Amino acid sequence: MKNFKNSHMLVIVIGALLLCSFAPVAGAKNVAPKENIFAERPLIHVLGPSPAIVPSAEKSAVDSSILESCDVLKDNDGKYYWYYHAQSRDKERWPRGYRLCVATSKNPLGPWKKYEGNPVLDQGEEGEWDHGVVACACLMKEGAYNIHSHNATYYMWYWSEGAVGLATADNPLGPWKKYENNPVIDWGDEPGVYPGSVTKIDDSFLMFVQSPVSLQDQGPFCIATAPKPEGPWTKYEELYKQRTEKGYAAPKPKGPWTKYELNPVMTPGDWGAWDDGGFSEACARYHEGIFHCVYGGTKAPKIESLGYAYSFDAINWHKYQANPVVPLSRVPDASGFAEVHCYVEGPYIYVFHTLRYYTGEGTARGIGSYPGWDTEDLAVQVLTIDPHFKISFPILMMDSLGPKQSSRIHACLPVGLEAASKLAIAIECTYDSDAKAGLRLHVRGSDDGVHCDTVDMFTFDIDLQPGKTVRKTVNLSPNSKFAKVVVENLDRSEAVKSLNVTATVGN
């Protein structure tokens, strides 16, 4: 080292060597951009469907209790596949922990339809490494798929008991086949590794993980790399397999994915910062040469707001200067955002996350939630740099509304208006051929999105057309932080079917 004239040159050379050693990103053939428009312009938060997916009402369902968010995959068919792990209230049918499920939609803001074949990935058999739980799925697709050929392979990395396994399929709905040499990551010297996302850069794979994981499920972000999805299978690992198959004892090798030597790559904020308590698991979404991460940063155990960070190389991360981009108070009745994943499309970042609620008697804990039952739903938030944004999502869906009945105010999703100056409400329904009266829609304001006014901000009637499907859109200029709707059936004898109400907010 005596040949270096000063310490500054030494730092530069060491830094260059470290970057070169991390070939998946620093050695990428495609040069990443040096600018990020999401960091250069104000990020606007628009409240999305909160909740978007809730526990099933049937006790026997695999997801009738707690839901937690996993990854989101958009496929060539134009559908979005939102994976989540879930528990059931039926302990006789589903006695163990989390199983992996999926829901689909043609729009990132829903409505979401749960797959009838859930769970798509179940726990292993007694004695297998993933016997107790399968969770925290992250997805990646390789190859092409169309109606004439099907050459795509879908990869799913998932968590169980502190390690990470791999499953493959030729369809995002499965059937999924577990890799025979699982787990592919088993860093036994660290208490847990939660996978967040996997990206392929040139010929190498990069996994964004949360590790080590604390007792509160918090931790810093790290990265791991491998030359193929399952990692390299070494001679020692083959020897271990042969010996164990013959019944001989052998020390278990660690998973083949390699830890980056300078982990962690993103750490909690300094003492007193909004995220000084650590992070919940999150993904790093690689989009047009930039890694984007929306994450749950913790101020106190299990109390997460949402922050945004970005990187050009997956190693050096920059936190958005106006974090948190979604403070806890922005989402009605929320007590935390966890298991955060995102998807970037144009000027929008769609954020998919677990939604926790305040507990206690008398709180509105989300549609489909159970009073006194500890549950978590799934929700979507929207971040955009477009000041003239326009987003739509369903806020009320009912198979039917009986004669002289009104929908419950808590059955309607809250519509956030803090960032919006315009609101349009569209209602669609099908009248019975014998119907004698139409519907009346009541729009009510709220300061917190939970407790609503008892006096209408706006009221309008839906024209009666017996035996037909009717749709009506009304443009409004509300003066409130939040809005909800109540639909009243004015008919004394006939029900209204297929009732759907959509809100569009924008500037």
Lowest mean pLDDT among 96-100, 154-158, 375-379, 479-483: 375-379
Same domain, 270 and 403: no
Q: Is residue 8 part of a domain?
A: no
CATH number, domain at 283?
Answer: 2.115.10.20
Domain range spanning residue 102? Answer: 34-384
pLDDT tens column, 386-419: 999 999 999 999 999 999 999 999 999 999 999 9
Any idea what the CATH number is for the domain that residue 476 is in?
A: 2.60.120.380
- Cβ contacts of residue 440 below 8 Å, gap of 6+? 459, 460, 461, 462, 487, 488, 490
Same domain for 409 and 348: no
User: How high is the pLDDT of residue 13?
Assistant: 32
21 within a domain of the structure (yes/no) = no
* Tokens 């050459």 sit on residue: 151
pLDDT, mean over the chain: 86
- Please report the pLDDT score of residue 219 as a whole number: 85
Q: What's the pLDDT score for residue 373?
A: 38
Q: Are residues 451 and 347 in the same domain?
A: no
Angle formed at CA 489 by CA 487 and CA 490, multiple of 5 degrees? 130
Here the tokens at position 505 are 């907010």
Look at residues 384, 410, 431 and tell me which one is the last residue of a structural domain: 384
Res 189 pLDDT > 80? no
Nearby residues of 225 by Cβ (< 8 Å), 6 or more positions away: 22, 23, 24, 204, 205, 206, 207, 257, 258, 260
**339 plus 430 within the same structural domain:** no
Q: Is 79 exposed, middle or buried (0-12, 13-18, 19+ CB in 10 A)?
A: middle
Cα(49)–Cα(225) distance, integer angstroms: 35
- Predicted pLDDT of residue 303: 75
Specify whether 114 is located in the same domain as 245.
yes
Distance (Å) of CA 417 to CA 168, 255, 501, 507: 42, 48, 17, 10
Same domain, 218 and 353: yes
Residue given tokens 């997805």 in the structure block: 139
Q: Model confidence over 32-71: pLDDT tens digits?
A: 567 899 999 999 999 999 999 999 999 999 999 999 999 9
How many folded domains does the chain comprise?
2
Using an 8 Å Cβ cutoff, are 496 and 406 in contact?
Answer: no
The predicted pLDDT at position 476 comes to 94
Q: Considering the domain boundaries, does residue 39 fall inside one?
A: yes
Tell me the pLDDT tens digit for each residue of 210-239: 887 776 778 899 999 998 898 765 554 565
Domain closes at, from 368, 384, 400: 384
Question: Are 364 and 406 in a shared domain?
Answer: no
Closest CA to 216 of 356, 319, 334: 356
- Do 373 and 405 lie in one domain? The reply is no
Judgement on whether residues 378 and 301 belong to the same structural domain of the protein? yes
Point out the domain boundary residue: 384, 401, 417. Answer: 384
Residue reference for tokens 């945004």: 308
Q: Are residues 115 and 149 in the same domain?
A: yes
Average pLDDT on 449-472 reads 95
Residue 310 shares a structural domain with residue 435: no
Percent of the chain with pLDDT over 90: 67
Q: Are residues 374 and 459 in the same domain?
A: no
